[in-house]
Amino acid sequence: MYTATARSCSNIAFIKYWGNRNDTLRLPANGSISMNLSGLETVTTVRFSEELTSDTLSLNGQSQTGEALRRASRHLDHIRHLAGVNLHAEVVSHNNFPTGAGIASSASAFAALTVASCAALGLDLAERELSALARLGSGSACRSVPGGYVEWYSGEDHASSYAETIAPPDHWELLDLVTIVSGEHKAIGSTSGHSLASTSPLQTARVEDTPRRLKQCRDAILRRDFELLAEVIEQDALMMHAVMMTSHPPLLYWLPATLQLIQLIRRWRADGIPACFTIDAGPNVHVITLPPHHEQLEQLLRQVDGVQTVLTASPGGPACLVSNPAE
Ligand code: DP6
């Protein structure tokens, strides 16, 4: 009765979330659009029990303490409060993507934790309510609850800030070649980064221009227009990094290989290969492309100095319950 397992994909933002209007509720400064990443997944089992004297969290077989556990516990508190229960929980979570590959796991982690915990406590919520709840744990997690291509509406309050599917996974077979140039843990993670966004004089302009970029990105996805998509996602990523670089203190996530990849990807696109880039809060480059070009592109990427590995992900489905966790 009090246990459930859920699986969720990570996601890559095409229009980025950077900065909050409300840090506690994680109401974002602007709306965002992303694609779920099939194959980069978290599976989480939650068990609530009267026998437990505190919450516990195991991640990839390692028992967690400190901030990771506190953050999961705070999230469980929201769900316990909704369900009107006071039970502690044992959370066992596995990522199928290599840890230390520099892939953000908070999106898939909090989406899976939300869906599993709600099911374990018998809360029957609509997808948008699950999405809004996941947002409280990590902003980008709200985009991992629905499937495929997803838009997160910035909203006015808790209930109106949620994400929904704008196109299903099979609408367009974009591929994300996640090009790893460093697996090191970030010195400044997203949560601290969001609170610096407003210290950059460029953030106001970035936020004000967001409706235009959201529309262009939405149109590009709905029309399957790669050139239009390439233009807007590269501009959006560079605008976010411009804000990061001009924050106080400044955040400069790029390595030499990051810039090298940006230049090469633009050259390859000019030569006729559908390829464009986006970059999150780190030095790794997400290379967005279309089949059948991904194999040639992967070869090219692997030859670039500083590239450690390339992981490939296609559009992924929604977070869902797993009836047989052994599967
Ligand atoms: C650069 O969702 O990781 O990846 O809400 O503090 O957990 P928290 O932040 P998070 O921020 C994601 C930032 C980003 C852009 C994006 O995914 O939209």
Domain boundary assignment for the chain: 3-170, 175-315
Instruction: Give the chain's end-to-end CA distance (angstroms, integer).
Output: 20
Instruction: Identify the pLDDT of residue 188.
Output: 80
Is the pLDDT confidence value at 327 over 60? Answer: no
Query: Separation of 280 CA from ligand 1 center, angstroms?
Result: 8
| Percentage of residues in the chain having pLDDT higher than 90 | 92
**Could you identify the residue written with the tokens 């780190």?**
282
* Nearest residue to 18 via CA among 149, 184, 140, 185: 140
Instruction: Identify the pLDDT of residue 149.
Output: 99
Average confidence (pLDDT) over 5-27: 97
Q: CB of 286 closer than 6 A to ligand 1?
A: no
Q: Is the dihedral of CA 287, 292, 297, 302 positive or negative?
A: positive
Q: Is the dihedral of CA 88, 92, 98, 103 positive or negative?
A: negative
Is the pLDDT confidence value at 326 over 80? Answer: no
Q: Which two tokens stand for residue 245?
A: 């670089």
What DSSP line would sit under 16-76, residue for residue? ----EEETTTTEESS-EEEEEEEEEEEEEEEEEETT-SS-EEEETTEEE-HHHHHHHHHHH
What is the rounded distance in angstroms from the CA atom of residue 322 to the CA atom of residue 327?
A: 8
What is the rounded distance in angstroms from the CA atom of residue 142 to the CA atom of residue 97?
A: 20
153 and 218 in contact (C-beta within 8 Å)? no
46 and 113 in contact (C-beta within 8 Å)? yes
Average confidence (pLDDT) over 191-210: 96
Query: Which residues, at least 6 apart from 233, have a Cβ–Cβ distance to it below 8 Å?
Result: 14, 15, 217, 276, 277, 278, 288
Q: CB of 139 closer than 6 A to ligand 1?
A: yes
Q: CB of 280 closer than 6 A to ligand 1?
A: yes
Query: Separation of 279 CA from ligand 1 center, angstroms?
Result: 12
Q: Which two tokens stand for residue 147?
A: 């499937």
- What does the buried/exposed string (b/e) look like for 105-141 if buried means 16 or more CB atoms within 10 Å of the residue's CB? bbbbbbbbbbbbbbbbbebebebbbbbbbbbbbbbbb
Instruction: Identify the pLDDT of residue 325.
Output: 64
Q: Could you give the C-alpha distances from 18 to 185, 191, 241, 263, in angstroms and in order?
A: 19, 10, 10, 24
Q: Could you give the C-alpha distances from 168 to 24, 221, 239, in angstroms and in order?
A: 31, 11, 27
What is the value of pTM for the model shown? 0.97
19: phi > 0 → left, psi -120 to 50 → alpha, else beta; which?
A: left
Query: Separation of 17 CA from ligand 1 center, angstroms?
Result: 6
Instruction: Identify the pLDDT of residue 98.
Output: 73
The domain made up of 3-170 is a member of CATH 3.40.630.30: no
Residue nearest to atom 7 of ligand 1 (CA): 138
* Number of neighbouring beta carbons within 10 Å of residue 76: 23
Q: pLDDT tens digits, residue range 224-245?
A: 999 999 999 999 999 999 999 9
What is the rounded distance in angstroms from the CA atom of residue 200 to the CA atom of residue 152?
A: 23
Domains 3-170 and 175-315 share a fold: no
For domain 175-315, which CATH number applies: 3.30.70.890, 3.40.605.10, 3.40.50.80, 3.50.50.60?
Answer: 3.30.70.890
Query: Separation of 1 CA from ligand 1 center, angstroms?
Result: 33
